[in-house]
Copies of this chain bind each other. A is one copy, B any other.
C-alpha cells in the first residue's frame, strides 16, 4: 500500500531526524527533532525564496498584528519575525493598544488586504476579549491568510481542496512524513477539538491522500473534554499515532500508550519546576515516562513549536507565489 511519495521538499530524507535510542536505554522512544527538521525546512525555503526573488519577483512580505501587550504573544511574534529574517521574508509587526476597537482592527486588516506589497497577514491570537476572534480571522483575505484560520480556508481544507492549511497541524503532518511514520489505515487519536489545531489535524489525518491536501488516510478518533478518562485511555492505548493539543501538563501518561506508538505533543504549558523553583515549558505528555513506551515522541520545547513557525514561512512564500501568478495572469488577460 506504499502509494504516497514523500513530498518533494524532503530532499534530505536520508538524514536522520530522530535521535537514535541510546544503547543504555534501547527501549526508549526516538525523539523527533522538530527543531532540526524545521531548520532544514527553513534552509530549503530560503533557497526557494532566493530563486523566486532572483527571477525578478518582489520579496514576499508578512505583516503581523498584535493587539494589547501579552508577553507570550510578543515572544511568539518575535520568533516568527526572526524566522522571516532567516528565510529572507520581509516582515513587520504592527502593534495596537489593548483599547483598539474591533472596527479599528478590521480597518487595519482591510488596509493590509488591499496593500499589494503585503502577501501575508497574521493577527496574533488571542485578541482582547471585546474583539470577536472569529470575525477577525474571517476578515483576513483568504489568499493572505497565512494562518489558515479564515472560514473559507477551513472549508477548503475540510473538502480536500487547495488552500492555506493552519501551520501547526501542517507542521505535525510534516513531522510524521519526515520520520516515515506510516499512517494509512493506522489508528490515530487527536486529543482536543480546538478549531485552530485539533480539527484541522483530524481532517489532515483522516482525509484522502490522493487529493490536494495530500492527507494521511488514518482512522481517526477525536477525544475531548467530555470523553470520559477511562475511554480516553482506551482510545489512546489503541492508537498508533497520538496528537495531543489540550494544554494540560501530564494528561497523557505511560499506561495510555501502545508500545511503539508515535506521540506528538502540541501542548505548551509553563509550569514551576519543583526541583529548581524555576519556570519551564512542558507539553501535555508525561515525557520522561511516555518515552519509555513510545516508539517516537516529540519534545517540548523543540518539537512541534519550531515546525509551526517553519510552516508559517512556507505558507507566506506560497501565498506570495500565488498572488504573483494571479497578478501575471490578470496582466495577460
* Copies held by the complex: 2
Whether the pair A235, B222 counts as a contact (CB closer than 8 A) is no
User: Which candidate, A24-32, A167-175, A225-233, A275-283, is the interface stretch facing chain B?
Assistant: A225-233
Interface size for A (C-beta < 8 A) is 39
- Give A193's nearest chain B residue, CB to CB: B206
A151 interface residue (CB < 8 Å to B): yes
Question: Which residues of the other chain, B, contact A208 by a CB distance below 8 angstroms?
Answer: 193
Q: Are A219 and B195 neighbours in the complex by a CB distance under 8 Å?
A: no
Give Cα A206–Cα B152 distance, bound, in whole angstroms: 21
A118 CB, nearest partner CB in chain B, Å: 23
A219 B221 Cβ-Cβ under 8 A: yes
* Whole-angstrom distance between the Cβ of A145 and the nearest chain B Cβ: 12
Which of chain B's residues has its CB closest to A195's CB? B159
The verdict on A176 contacting chain B, using a C-beta distance below 8 Å, is no
A63 within 8 A of B: no
When the two chains form their complex, are residues A226 and B217 in contact, meaning their CB atoms are under 8 A apart?
A: yes
Query: Does A185 count as interface, using CB distance less than 8 angstroms?
Result: yes
Contact of A206 among B158, B184, B224, B234 (CB under 8 A): B224
Interface residues of A in 199-232 (CB under 8 A from B): 199, 202-203, 206-208, 217-224, 226-228, 231
> Residue of B at shortest CB range from A196?
B159
The yes or no answer to A161 lying at the interface (CB within 8 A) is yes
By beta carbon, the residue of chain B nearest A1 is B226
Q: How far is the CB of A305 from chain B (nearest CB, A)?
A: 24
Asked whether, in the complex, the Cβ of B221 is within 8 Å of the Cβ of A220, the reply is yes
Measured CB to CB, the closest approach of chain B to A251, in angstroms, equals: 15
Q: How long is the Cα–Cα vector from A237 to B232 in the complex, in angstroms?
A: 16
CB <8 Å contact, A156 and B159? no
- For A238, the chain B residues whose CB sits under 8 A away are 234
A227 touches B222 (CB 8 A): no
Q: What's the nearest-Cβ distance from chain B to residue A188, in Å?
A: 10
Chain B residues in 8 Å Cβ range of A155: 150-156, 158
A143 adjacent to chain B (CB < 8 Å): no
What are 18 contact pairs spanning A and B, CB under 8 A? A134-B159, A151-B155, A151-B161, A152-B152, A154-B155, A154-B159, A155-B158, A158-B195, A159-B195, A184-B226, A193-B207, A202-B222, A217-B224, A217-B226, A219-B224, A219-B227, A220-B221, A221-B235
